[in-house]
Chains A and B, each alone.
Chain A
Amino acid sequence: MEDPNRADDFVPAGLASLGIDADEVELAVMGAAKDLFWPPILDLLALDTSAVAPERQQDLSRPPEQP
């Protein structure tokens, strides 16, 4: 479970670590984006894809090769 206070630091701290500046409006946009994206990103990270065999020669114009 995220600590809400530390999670709020994520955007400015992450930007600072990359040396990226941001004004207040940009930070507000990023805060809204984080609120929107983070719950499903956590769901995605929790999805078990260990049984999914990678496509070594992926060609998106065709169906995948059957394992």
Chain B
Amino acid sequence: MSALDLTLRGQAAAIAAGDVDPAELLDEALARIERRNPAVNAVVETFPERSREMLAAAPPGPLHGVPVVIKDEWPLPWRAQRFGAAEMLAEVEPGESGPYRALRDAGAVIVGVGNMHELGAGSTGNLSVYGPARNPWDTERCPGGSSSGPAAAVAARLVAGAVGADGVGSIRFPAAYCGLTGLKPTFGRLPMEGHHMAANSTTIVSGPLCADAADCRLLASALAGAPLEAAEPRGLRIGVVRDSVSDDVAPAVREACEEAIEALRAQTGGEVWEIELEDLELAALATVLIANVEGIGNIDPQRLNRLSPELSPIARGLLKFRMLLPAAASVKAYRVRTLMRHRLVAAFEQVDVIAWPTVPAVAPPLQMPLVELPSGTLTADSANVRGAGLANLTGIPSVSVPVGLSEGLPIALQLQAAWGRDELLLDAAEALERANDRRWVEALPPLAQAETTEA
């Protein structure tokens, strides 16, 4: 087995112990990207000399010598982000983003840039200037977006950890579709410096995508510059909501998530409570409205007449459509934010975590990203946002955890906790992994299995 197939923490420990040469590990990662990436289009650029320079200068941090991928949403000193698009509306240039600095200071080696959904505006990853990333579980399926490349890279075991961004579910959707663990931290907890929307956005955060919760803890700690401590979650009070987020989901998803919730309850000696959390659909809409209007905060309408024809027609149309959103609805969206924040305060007096499916159906086809739900056929984007928006709207942390497979594709449960309780979410995710004998976090997609078997 290659050291690349170790967990992120396994790679870090093996390097620290002198069992693995980080220069050889970097060469292996670059070789694997060259060999395996064409099938998934997860990594859109490598820069071996820059990576070797990072390794040569790497301090003895918690990720010393460990290769990672970063989403095409963050500038690097040698490369400006492209945001998955032929053209960005913001002026960008190479530089030291917060996540870059944190990774560098932790000793990590950035080995490549991860693909992403065009302009970050989709939950599927099927649109990108680089061509879509593909789901390693089935390369004709969506990998999820907008952090499509980071997720596909980790699921294909090109690297063991990747940094994404989540403005409306953009870490959790691809984590769910690709069978990974993805943490959307509490707003402001992980670095955002250098992001072209950092000054405007009140929804976007940086965060880790890894195979399991312990690796997410390590990568999130590196990004935070301080450890997210682990603890045993005892007597966990799990809240469930009877709403479309839990009920209008594919039967296999519902069954797997209900089983996972019961397994988590049993593992922690906890309780499951049905709680009231009204207006979730309006909360999701409010999230979308806020994210969309904040994204055009500095746009002159005339600028939209000079959009590159290389942008997809969908991106061009949706950018222009944002200018038509009613101001009154935006104001109301901010009021809904406050309303939901107060409701969550009340909910988290009753329970420690709130659980529902991350996405209501498994990854849809790349060519036609529609999902079949009890209520009918919906676009994946409109179905996915229902369960994801609340965390971005209100600032609370959320984690997506793999809990099953259906049709050979991953199913995921989302856990949400009160502000600042990111550690509790990772504790709960690890408890859930133990409850199902790590079956789902250790499941490998066919693309990764084939080469492991050949090796």
Residues of A participating in the B interface, judged by any CB pair closer than 8 Å: 10-11, 14-15, 18-23, 25-30, 33-34, 36-37, 40-41, 43-45, 47, 49, 52-55, 58, 60-64, 66
Taken together as a complex, chains A and B put the C-alpha atoms of A22 and B336 apart, in Å, by 32
A52 proximity list for chain B (CB < 8 A): 335, 338-339, 342
Q: Cβ of A61 and Cβ of B313 under 8 Å apart?
A: no
Residues of B participating in the A interface, judged by any CB pair closer than 8 Å: 186-189, 202, 279, 281-282, 285-286, 288-289, 301-302, 304-305, 313-314, 316-318, 320-321, 323-326, 328-329, 332-333, 335-336, 338-339, 341-342, 344-345, 348, 379, 382, 394-395, 418-420
Q: Cβ of A58 and Cβ of B321 under 8 Å apart?
A: no
Report if A45-B328 is in contact (Cβ < 8 Å); known contacts: A20-B305, A61-B189: yes
Q: Cβ of A15 and Cβ of B324 under 8 Å apart?
A: yes
Q: Cβ of B338 and Cβ of A55 under 8 Å apart?
A: yes
Q: Cβ of B317 and Cβ of A25 under 8 Å apart?
A: yes
In angstroms, how far is the closest chain B Cβ from the Cβ of A15? 6
B188 proximity list for chain A (CB < 8 A): 60-61
Q: Cβ of B338 and Cβ of A20 under 8 Å apart?
A: no
B314 proximity list for chain A (CB < 8 A): 29
In angstroms, how far is the closest chain A Cβ from the Cβ of B106? 22
In angstroms, how far is the closest chain A Cβ from the Cβ of B52? 37
B339 proximity list for chain A (CB < 8 A): 49, 52
Taken together as a complex, chains A and B put the C-alpha atoms of A10 and B341 apart, in Å, by 33
Q: What 9 A-B pairs are tightest by C-beta distance, nearest first?
A: A29-B317, A60-B395, A60-B187, A49-B335, A61-B188, A26-B317, A25-B313, A18-B301, A14-B324
Say which residue of B305, B329, B382, B418 sits within 8 Å of A44 (CB atoms): B329
16 contacts between A and B (CB under 8 A): A21-B305, A22-B320, A29-B318, A33-B321, A34-B324, A41-B285, A41-B289, A47-B279, A49-B339, A55-B338, A62-B395, A63-B344, A63-B348, A64-B341, A64-B345, A66-B345
B279 proximity list for chain A (CB < 8 A): 47
Q: Cβ of B281 and Cβ of A40 under 8 Å apart?
A: yes
In angstroms, how far is the closest chain A Cβ from the Cβ of B44? 25
Report if A18-B323 is in contact (Cβ < 8 Å); known contacts: A36-B382, A49-B335: yes
Report if A20-B394 is in contact (Cβ < 8 Å); known contacts: A45-B326, A45-B329, A54-B338: no
Taken together as a complex, chains A and B put the C-alpha atoms of A63 and B14 apart, in Å, by 40
Say which residue of B288, B318, B341 sits within 8 Å of A63 (CB atoms): B341
B323 proximity list for chain A (CB < 8 A): 14-15, 18, 20
Q: Cβ of B313 and Cβ of A26 under 8 Å apart?
A: yes
B202 proximity list for chain A (CB < 8 A): 60
Report if A49-B341 is in contact (Cβ < 8 Å); known contacts: A11-B321, A19-B302, A41-B326: no
Taken together as a complex, chains A and B put the C-alpha atoms of A15 and B408 apart, in Å, by 45
A64 proximity list for chain B (CB < 8 A): 338, 341-342, 345
Q: Cβ of B302 and Cβ of A29 under 8 Å apart?
A: no
Closest to A39 in B: B285
B382 proximity list for chain A (CB < 8 A): 36
Q: Cβ of B304 and Cβ of A44 under 8 Å apart?
A: no
Q: Cβ of A49 and Cβ of B336 under 8 Å apart?
A: yes
Q: Cβ of A30 and Cβ of B186 under 8 Å apart?
A: no
Q: Cβ of A61 and Cβ of B420 under 8 Å apart?
A: yes
